[in-house]
């Protein structure tokens, strides 16, 4: 798995609308919380996405952006995003190319690890967490990123 201090690999994936989105284009807006999740519409992934949604105003206030990545199709992401009013991009990595680039493939190549990266605009990974079954740890990580960004603005 990629660690803090390493350079985040560049990628381009379709979002929930089928529009191609690159890491660089996401970082043009500022630091990015890039999170990988196993599947749309599952209990844990829905809980994680909704917790990030509920923090979205705070994220925007400190200049942080968010994008989620999983192996489902743009259509699945569109339905998931609409159903839960998610205000951030969901990227479709159907061949798990980016999942492998970030080394978050599940055990024996099955599934996707639940991992969240904080990436700065120069593509350096500033922090990362992996907590496959502990959704609350991802929410705490996002809150920590908000606090760090607030501290950097003062």
pLDDT at 82: 98
**How many distinct structural domains can be found in the chain?**
1
* List of residues 6+ apart from 38 with CB closer than 8 A: 44, 45, 70, 106, 111, 112, 114
Is residue 42 situated within a structural domain?
yes
Is residue 64 situated within a structural domain?
yes
With H, G, I as helix, E, B as strand and everything else as coil, classify residue 39.
coil
Domain that holds residue 93: 12-145
Is residue 5 situated within a structural domain?
no
pLDDT at 150: 86
Is residue 7 situated within a structural domain?
no
Is residue 151 situated within a structural domain?
no
**Domain containing 78 — which CATH number?**
3.40.30.10
Q: Distance between CA atoms of 74 and 91, rounded to whole angstroms?
A: 7
pLDDT at 153: 59
Is residue 51 situated within a structural domain?
yes
pLDDT at 152: 64
Angle at 141 between CA 2 and CA 151, to 5 degrees: 105
Q: Which of 138, 118, 136, 134 is nearest to 126 (CA)?
A: 118
Active site (catalytic) residues: 45
Q: Which of 8, 42, 40, 26 is nearest to 89 (CA)?
A: 26
Asked whether the beta carbons of 102 and 78 are under 8 A apart, the reply is no
* List of residues 6+ apart from 63 with CB closer than 8 A: 30, 31, 149, 153
pLDDT tens series, the chain, 154 aa: 899 999 999 999 999 999 999 999 999 999 999 999 999 999 999 999 999 999 999 999 999 999 999 999 999 999 999 999 999 999 999 999 999 999 999 877 788 999 999 999 999 999 999 987 788 898 899 999 999 998 865 4
The pTM (predicted TM-score) of the whole model is: 0.94
Is residue 54 situated within a structural domain?
yes
Is residue 89 situated within a structural domain?
yes
């Amino acid at each position: 798995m990629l660690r803090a201090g390493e350079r985040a690999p560049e990628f381009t994936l379709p979002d929930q609308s089928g529009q191609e989105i690159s890491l660089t284009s996401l970082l043009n807006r500022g630091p990015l919380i890039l999170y990988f999740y196993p599947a749309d519409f599952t209990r844990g992934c829905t809980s994680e996405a909704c917790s990030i949604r509920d923090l979205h105003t705070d994220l925007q206030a400190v200049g942080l952006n968010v994008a989620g990545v999983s192996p489902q199709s743009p259509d699945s992401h569109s339905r998931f995003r609409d159903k839960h009013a998610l205000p951030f991009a969901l990227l479709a990595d159907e061949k798990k190319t980016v999942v492998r680039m970030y080394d978050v493939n599940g055990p024996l190549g099955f599934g996707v690890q639940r991992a969240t990266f904080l990436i700065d605009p120069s593509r350096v990974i500033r922090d990362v967490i992996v907590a496959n079954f502990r959704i609350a740890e991802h929410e705490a990580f996002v809150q920590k990123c908000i606090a760090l960004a607030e501290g950097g603005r003062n």
